[in-house]
Amino acid sequence: METNLSWDLYKSFLAVVKEKSLSGAAKVLNIAQPTVGRHIDTLEEALKVSLFTRSRLGFMPTDAALRLLPYAESIATSATALIREVSDTSGAIKGVVRITASEVIGIEVLPEILSRLHANHPDLKIELVATNQAKNLLAREADIAIRMFKPTQQALIIRKVGETELGWHAHKDYLKRMGTPKNESDLLKHSLIGFDEETPFIRSFKSKFANIERKNFSFRSDSDLAQLAAIRNGFGIGICQAKLAQRDPNLVRVLGKIVQPKLGVWVTMHEDLKSNLRFKTVFSALTASLSEYLGATV
């Protein structure tokens, strides 16, 4: 079996897995479609396995391809990390920093913070991954993470920047139309906004929100942004971060004295990055800005 294989072959392999076609992979990689096809043929010949089968859905990875996938992704992560590491040799604050945060923090909170950061350091290039799935810092899926849970992995620098309080909120027009619940029993009479699929995190918090079940929701979504949009547009009563609701004069908190759960917020990065000026700068800016944002009493 050939072991000295070009990284280009693995790039094409990953692109075909993601795009499910040679044409789609070629577009993403900005190379010719026949070139992608030759890369796949070369990789299959070298590894002596079939990597894809054609179906009505396109190129579908075989079992062999699925076994190869995590190794190819690891190579991609390492290659990206290598490029970032050597991209700054001047000591200037410039280059790429990849940040991951939850949907709500990433979309609702970070843009203002990152805009100020970029104004001060225009040579920085920010990549933002707004997702509720935890990206692996040790595998360099991101450089810096903002977590709503305390990281437990080793070899990480971790800073708690505060807590964010959660609560039931509704648009003032909805409450004017439907009335304001006085207790948790009243809450069940309203149009509620909540989750679709129950996760371990949701199960751990249900008791703090009157043990509301999926069946009680009139609007169900696993996207925090979709839930927030439904609250803002007067669909009903839903849970959101109190800090965000305070920014919108149309949103009113209900049962605030009864329901007051809090989530901790941490900023973290791999300790190997602490000596790199651009990562250190972004980490410090995020820590300071988020501490300021979360600092006032809700």
Residue 211 backbone zone (phi > 0: left; psi -120 to 50: alpha; other: beta) = left
Q: How confident is the model at residue 260 (pLDDT cuts 50, 70, 90)?
A: confident
Task: Quote the pLDDT of residue 296.
Answer: 44
Mean pLDDT, residues 134-140: 72
Is the pLDDT assigned to residue 297 strictly greater than 60?
no
Contacts 24+ apart (CB under 8 A), 117-121: 117/282, 117/285, 117/289, 121/93, 121/94, 121/278, 121/281
Percent of the chain with pLDDT over 90: 61
208 or 280, which is more confident: 280
Is the pLDDT assigned to residue 86 strictly greater than 80?
no
Is the pLDDT assigned to residue 84 strictly greater than 70?
no
**Those residues with Cβ within 8 angstroms of residue 202's Cβ, 6 or more apart along the chain or in another chain:** 195
**Those residues with Cβ within 8 angstroms of residue 210's Cβ, 6 or more apart along the chain or in another chain:** 184, 187, 188, 259
**Residue 277, SS3 per DSSP:** helix
Is the pLDDT assigned to residue 245 strictly greater than 90?
yes
Q: How confident is the model at residue 123 (pLDDT cuts 50, 70, 90)?
A: very high
Q: What is the pLDDT of residues 171-203, one digit of tens each?
A: 999 999 999 999 888 999 999 999 998 877 777
**Residue 218, SS3 per DSSP:** strand
Percent of the chain with pLDDT over 70: 93
| d(C-alpha 127, C-alpha 98), whole Å | 4
Radius of gyration for the chain, computed over Cα atoms and rounded to the nearest angstrom: 23
Q: What is the pLDDT of residues 156-170, one digit of tens each?
A: 899 999 999 999 999
Q: How confident is the model at residue 231 (pLDDT cuts 50, 70, 90)?
A: very high
Is the pLDDT assigned to residue 28 strictly greater than 50?
yes
Mean pLDDT of the chain: 87
| d(C-alpha 27, C-alpha 25), whole Å | 5
In this structure, what DSSP letter does residue 32 have?
-
Task: Quote the pLDDT of residue 83.
Answer: 63
Is the pLDDT assigned to residue 35 strictly greater than 50?
yes
Mean pLDDT, residues 41-60: 90
Q: What is the pLDDT of residues 71-81, one digit of tens each?
A: 888 887 777 66
Task: Quote the pLDDT of residue 298.
Answer: 37
Return the structure tokens found at 235: 């669909």
